[in-house]
Chain A
Amino acid sequence: EAQVTQNPRYLITVTGKKLTVTCSQNMNHEYMSWYRQDPGLGLRQIYYSMNVEVTDKGDVPEGYKVSRKEKRNFPLILESPSPNQTSLYFCASSLDPQNEQFFGPGTRLTVL
C-alpha cells in the first residue's frame, strides 16, 4: 500500500530535550516536506527536500533541522524544543512540487 508513515504519532516532552520525528514514504517520491498545523494558521511549510542531500527552508524553519540521506526518509529534528513548537506536524511526499502531495497521519507534539 502506498503510504507516508510518521513516528511517533503523539509525543509529550520538555523544553530543551532533543527529539526526532521520523517520516518514511514507499512511493519513490523525490519531493518531501514537513508542515506544522496550528489553529487559524493552516499548514505552514517548515522544510522541503527536492531529492537526496537537497533540502531548503520553507516559511517557518527556525528551531528545526532536517536531513535527507535516503530517498524514502526525511526526519524532522528539534534540537532544543520550546513550548511554541507545540503543534500538529505533517510529513508529505510527491513526485515534484507541482503534483499531489501525500500526507502522513500527523504527529501531535506537546512541549512543556
Chain B
Amino acid sequence: EPEVTQTPSHQVTQMGQEVILRCVPISNHLYFYWYRQILGQKVEFLVSFYNNEISEKSEIFDDQFSVERPDGSNFTLKIRSTKLEDSAMYFCASTIRGDTQYFGPGTRLTVL
C-alpha cells in the first residue's frame, strides 16, 4: 500500500539555523499539507499546497516558514531561522481529492 514518507526521522539543530524537512507524498495525490505537534499538545495545521501554490496557511506559518515542491515527488518545509519553540513533530500529509488525508510518520525536530 502506498505511503507518505518523511526524512529525516529526527533532526537536531542549533537555534538560528535553517532546516529543511522532506516529504514524499503518495504519487497520485494532488493536495499536500504540513502539520506540527508540540509534545503533549494538539496536532496543528500549518499549510496546504495545491497546484504548485499555497492554498491556505495558519497563523503559525509565518515568514520563517516556506514550502516547495521542487520536483514531481518531493514536498519540503523550510524553517529559515529556527527557534526553541519550533521543536516539535512535523507531519506531512497528502490526499488525492482533498477529503481524507494520509499522514507520514513525522520528523522530530529538536532545536537546541
- A associates with B: no
Interface residues of A (CB under 8 A from B): none
Interface residues of B (CB under 8 A from A): none
